[in-house]
């Protein structure tokens, strides 16, 4: 399962390689991923950073990168910088950017420059996150690319690829304490992403309670979200509130939730908060030796994804392949 799923995504990406920006071009893991991506031919790449620094670092790492097959842009010397600064200034002058000079200084930042490339259609998608925290990585996208709809929350999904099972965990990246409406938005976006990658969603809204076995405001929130989901999206299989064993183990589901539409066969797990989701995905990754692919960001107008700072270069390769596939499906 693990290798097949990722192999299929790469094969899909290879059919129509898209232009992906890796803004942290000076990062060792990015350079190692670059070598593999070019070798596997599923994306066209732009690295952001000083060309000499990037090439020297790759040489020290012993990498064999065909520099003719990618683009390196240094915002300090690129004619695009002035162009991007003008657009960014117009976009943000009502939001505290006081001058064109300030805008120029900001867009020279690797993540801002990369995000402006996506905004201006100079590239199709972006993968970031090896250097900066999630908050820092996502800020340019929220300011420049913006969400699909006003007030729509951006959320992060991890595909957890196990030996015999494929699961989607959300929101495991951004929304610290989602309310019931947020949980529904996250569930709908995750269902859409799951379908995009060939997974027919069966959604479990998770809690420490199954069908009223515990009373607490935290349980009420999940019950409300599950009810809203069924009401607003009856076409999507979903249920809650469910403990994770009732969501994933058929024998437990029979005992704890015999009338549930989910009978231990959930493949999309919606967590009640970021704390539980982040802990869960890292536990499953480290102890069950699952491959965690993500977080894939949901709710943005264009495909921008981030990796965890604890990632390895293979994670960057995988997320880039998924980003290429998202570019195929963007509006």
Same domain, yes or no, for 48 and 95? yes
| Residue 102 pLDDT | 96
| Residue 133 pLDDT | 77
Is residue 256 within 8 Å of residue 246, measured between CB atoms?
yes
Kindly indicate the confidence band of residue 331, based on its pLDDT and cuts at 50, 70 and 90: very low
Among the listed residues 152, 80, 151, the one whose alpha carbon sits nearest the alpha carbon of residue 118: 80
Q: Is the dihedral of CA 159, 296, 316, 46 positive or negative?
A: positive
Whole-angstrom CA distances from 325 to 48, 304, 329 are 22, 12, 7
287 by Cβ neighbours in 10 Å (0-12 / 13-18 / 19+) ranks as exposed
Question: 292 lies in a domain?
Answer: no
| Residue 150 pLDDT | 73
Is residue 24 within 8 Å of residue 306, measured between CB atoms?
no
Same domain, yes or no, for 140 and 180? no
Query: What is the CATH number for 318?
Result: 3.40.50.10950
Question: 203 lies in a domain?
Answer: yes
Question: 294 lies in a domain?
Answer: no
Kindly indicate the confidence band of residue 205, based on its pLDDT and cuts at 50, 70 and 90: very high
Among the listed residues 237, 289, 280, the one whose alpha carbon sits nearest the alpha carbon of residue 1: 289
pLDDT digits (tens, 9 = 90+) for 107-146: 999 999 999 999 999 999 999 989 877 778 889 999 999 8
Region 300-315: mean pLDDT is: 92
Question: 23 lies in a domain?
Answer: yes
Q: Strand locations in 39-195, DSSP E?
A: 43-48, 70-73, 125-128, 155-161, 166-170
Same domain, yes or no, for 133 and 207? no
Same domain, yes or no, for 169 and 53? no
Region 239-257: mean pLDDT is: 96
Same domain, yes or no, for 172 and 139? no
| Residue 328 pLDDT | 86
Question: 237 lies in a domain?
Answer: yes
pLDDT digits (tens, 9 = 90+) for 223-233: 999 999 999 99
Same domain, yes or no, for 114 and 26? yes
268-270 and 202-206 beta bridge pairing: parallel
Whether the predicted pLDDT of 84 surpasses 70: yes
Give the count of beta carbons closer than 10 Å to the beta carbon of residue 215.
Answer: 8
Same domain, yes or no, for 318 and 213? no
- CA triplet 213, 214, 218: central angle to 5 degrees? 130
How many domains would you assign to the chain? 2
pLDDT digits (tens, 9 = 90+) for 6-19: 999 999 999 999 99
Same domain, yes or no, for 140 and 257? no
Region 145-159: mean pLDDT is: 87
Same domain, yes or no, for 252 and 312? no
Same domain, yes or no, for 277 and 306? no
* DSSP-derived secondary structure letter, 153: P
pLDDT digits (tens, 9 = 90+) for 177-191: 999 999 999 999 999
Q: Which residue has the higher pLDDT, 261 or 137?
A: 261
d(CA 134, CA 276): 17
Residue 241: cis peptide before it, omega within 30 degrees of 0: yes
Q: Which domain holds residue 61?
A: 2-146+301-329
Give the count of beta carbons closer than 10 Å to the beta carbon of residue 196.
Answer: 14
d(CA 239, CA 223): 9
Same domain, yes or no, for 264 and 161? yes
Question: 296 lies in a domain?
Answer: no
Kindly indicate the confidence band of residue 1, based on its pLDDT and cuts at 50, 70 and 90: low
- CA triplet 128, 133, 138: central angle to 5 degrees? 60
Q: Percent of the chain beyond pLDDT 90?
A: 87
| Residue 138 pLDDT | 86
């Amino acid at each position: 399962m693990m290798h097949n799923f990722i192999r299929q995504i790469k094969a899909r990406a290879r059919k129509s390689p898209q232009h992906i920006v890796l803004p942290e071009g000076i990062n060792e893991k990015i350079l190692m991923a670059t070598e593999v991506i070019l070798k596997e031919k599923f994306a066209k790449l732009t690295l952001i950073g000083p060309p000499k620094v990037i090439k020297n670092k790759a040489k020290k790492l012993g990498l064999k990168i065909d520099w003719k097959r990618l683009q390196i842009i240094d915002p300090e010397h690129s004619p695009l910088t002035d162009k991007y600064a003008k657009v960014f200034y117009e976009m943000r002058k009502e939001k505290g950017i006081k001058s064109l000079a300030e805008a120029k200084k900001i867009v020279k930042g690797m993540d801002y420059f990369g995000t402006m490339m996506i905004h201006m259609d100079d590239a199709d998608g972006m993968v970031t996150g090896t250097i900066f925290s999630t908050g820092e990585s996502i800020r340019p996208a929220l300011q420049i690319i913006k969400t699909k709809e006003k007030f729509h929350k951006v959320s992060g999904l991890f595909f957890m690829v196990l030996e015999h099972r494929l699961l989607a965990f959300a929101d495991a990246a951004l929304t610290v304490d989602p309310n019931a409406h947020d949980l529904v938005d996250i569930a709908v976006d995750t269902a859409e992403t799951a379908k995009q990658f060939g997974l027919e969603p069966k959604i479990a809204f998770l809690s420490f309670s199954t069908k009223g076995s515990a009373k607490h405001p935290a349980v009420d929130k999940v019950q409300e979200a599950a009810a809203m989901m069924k009401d607003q999206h009856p076409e999507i299989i979903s249920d809650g509130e469910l403990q994770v064993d009732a969501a994933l183990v058929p024998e437990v589901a029979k005992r704890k939730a015999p009338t549930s539409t989910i009978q231990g066969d959930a493949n999309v797990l919606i967590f009640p908060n970021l704390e539980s989701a982040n802990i869960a995905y890292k536990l499953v990754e480290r102890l069950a030796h699952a491959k965690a692919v993500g977080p894939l960001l949901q709710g943005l107008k264009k495909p921008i994804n981030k990796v965890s700072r604890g990632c390895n270069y293979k994670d960057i390769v995988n997320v880039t392949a998924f980003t290429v596939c998202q570019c195929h499906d963007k509006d």
